[in-house]
Amino acid sequence: MAIPYSQQRVYDMLSDLSHLESVKDRMPQDKIKELKFDRDTVSINVSPVGDIAFKIIEREEPKCIKLETTTSPIPLTIWVQVLPTAEEASKMKLTLRTELNPFIKGMVQKPLQEGIEKMAEMLAAIKY
C-alpha cells in the first residue's frame, strides 16, 4: 500500500496508538464499537467476533511495529512494516499470523483476510 508520506512520519504516527483518534470516524460504525486506545494498546468490539485487544510488543524504528492480541477469540500477531520508497513517500505492508487448526482456519481465514485488507486501507488513508 503506497503512502505519500515519509517512512519516519508514518512510523511516528503508528507507533503511538493514541493517534488512532484521528481515524475513529472512518471505521465502520455498524461493525466496530467501543474503540479504546492509549499509546501501547487498542481494544475494540467487532460484531460478531466480540472484544479484541492488541498491544504493541515491539517497535523497530522507523520500519516495524509488532502487535499481539491480549484479548481475542483466536491468537493473532500483526506486523506493520513501513518501507521508504522516496524521501517523502513510503509503502506499508501488514502481515497477520495466527495458528489455527484446519477446521477453524477454514471458517475464519476469509474474514481475517478481509479485516487485514480493510485495516491496511484505513491506515493508508491517514493524513500523517
Ordered structural domains, the chain, with CATH: 2-124 (3.30.530.20)
At residue 107, the pLDDT reads 81
Calpha distance 63→100 (Å, rounded): 28
Residue pLDDT, tens place only, 13-43: 999 999 877 777 766 666 667 788 899 999 8
Give percent of the chain above pLDDT 70: 95
Report the b/e string of 83-112 with b at 16+ CB within 10 A.
eeeeeeebebebeeebeeeeeeeeeeeeeb
Q: Residues 6 or more apart from 43 whose CB is under 8 A from it?
A: 34, 35, 36, 37, 51, 52, 53, 54, 71
Residue-averaged pLDDT of the chain: 88
